[in-house]
Chains A and B, each alone.
Chain A
């Protein structure tokens, strides 16, 4: 399993000022990978290109699974307003996943939200509710664009560790502004550098911490500095 971006260029309306130009990188194998960069660097645009939601001006995405197998989710999504969370899960998630999502709502700390409507939830709760329905889809690649924004740090870590343990066969691309989190949990890290800095892409390795793996604080610190300098 891999996703390869070859010479991708992308612009909105104005082709003279592309969001990024001639980007090439590859994410190999299942695992928890990161996409990092400053605001406006083009992370979301790149993620949408990778999932086929945006057609790039130039370049190709090589993905043996096909675009339909790459799912993109963002923290901007909403659920239909006429359904409670419980009703929504029952209507969109396959019956055989019921046990899974019931376990996940406890773990993600949203069991008390099930009879509420989406608009009544806090931002962090909304993001967790949205993420569960995507995690239970069959597609092997999931791009999570700030999917855990507004969730407190302990819960974010708990969720990421759970995802890594529960879905080892899937490829995750995690977009976040938290350098520590990216360094700590991601395996391959793609850093999109700010406009004007070349090369636009730098690929690094993260600590890829899992449930039973210890973290060396010094290595993490070095890793974080490396990413911050790269961006």
Chain B
């Protein structure tokens, strides 16, 4: 699986670069607009240590934001189970909040909290929590009647047993959305850094953009893609190993 994801990423990145060079040479664009491969390699040698560190920093924040979102979505999902009205209310509320673009709310967060880890963490969580929340609320409010019936009849269905049954029965759904939202976590972090942070790979991209330096942007994209591929691979390996272990 590790090889699959990383090979897929290399193929996609290669296709992207090829298309870019195709545009450059068919339209006769200058090296200033789209740099040559030599320029990209030269820039990579120069800035790689800084960018690698920036990607690691962003990745750490993305992972923390991802975990925070999972915890928040779980707590709200569990709370929404209390009654169907609360579940519906939370679902509707989540849609309402999500209808505001987080990018538009992000400046307010930075104005209030300044730069640092917290605003980035918050924006990351806001971007990746939505699919998690909807799945968790759906899972925890949906009875598994064929298992719960016995406990209902014998009056032994406690709230934690109910959560355990529902989470177990929908574990594939939960793990798929956790895996899927990991990409959104990285997107959220980069968006936050791009808007207003003073470190991280999103910040480096914003500088590269202000310098109109496409080499730097391409190198940043390469590192981001590679980091996400590795994160998703490790996450998927961990989650699906757990499922196959449980089902044995």
Shortest Cβ distance from A16 into chain B, in angstroms? 27
13 contacts between A and B (CB under 8 A): A72-B149, A73-B149, A77-B146, A77-B147, A79-B147, A80-B164, A80-B165, A81-B246, A81-B247, A82-B164, A82-B168, A92-B151, A134-B150
Chain A residues within an 8 Å CB radius of B246: 81-82
B133-166 CB contact bits vs A (8 Å, 1 = yes)? 0000000000000110111011010000000110
**Interface membership of B31, Cβ < 8 A:** no
A212→B115 CA distance, assembly (Å):
86
**Interface membership of B39, Cβ < 8 A:** no
- Closest residue of chain B to A51, judged by CB? B153
By Cβ-Cβ distance, the 8 closest A-B pairs, closest first, are A78-B146, A77-B146, A78-B147, A71-B153, A76-B146, A81-B168, A82-B168, A80-B165
How many chain B residues touch A (CB < 8 A): the figure is 14
Chain A residues within an 8 Å CB radius of B169: 81
- Would you call A80 and B147 a contact (CB within 8 A)? yes
**Interface membership of A11, Cβ < 8 A:** no
Shortest Cβ distance from B137 into chain A, in angstroms? 22
| A137-B154 in contact given A80-B165, A81-B168, A81-B169 (Cβ < 8 Å) | yes
A76→B145 CA distance, assembly (Å):
10
A77→B154 CA distance, assembly (Å):
14
Chain B residues within an 8 Å CB radius of A78: 146-147
- Would you list which residues of chain B between 166 and 223 have a CB under 8 Å from chain A? 168-169
Beyond A78-B146, A79-B147, A81-B169, 5 extra complex contacts between A and B, CB < 8 Å: A73-B150, A77-B150, A80-B168, A81-B247, A92-B150
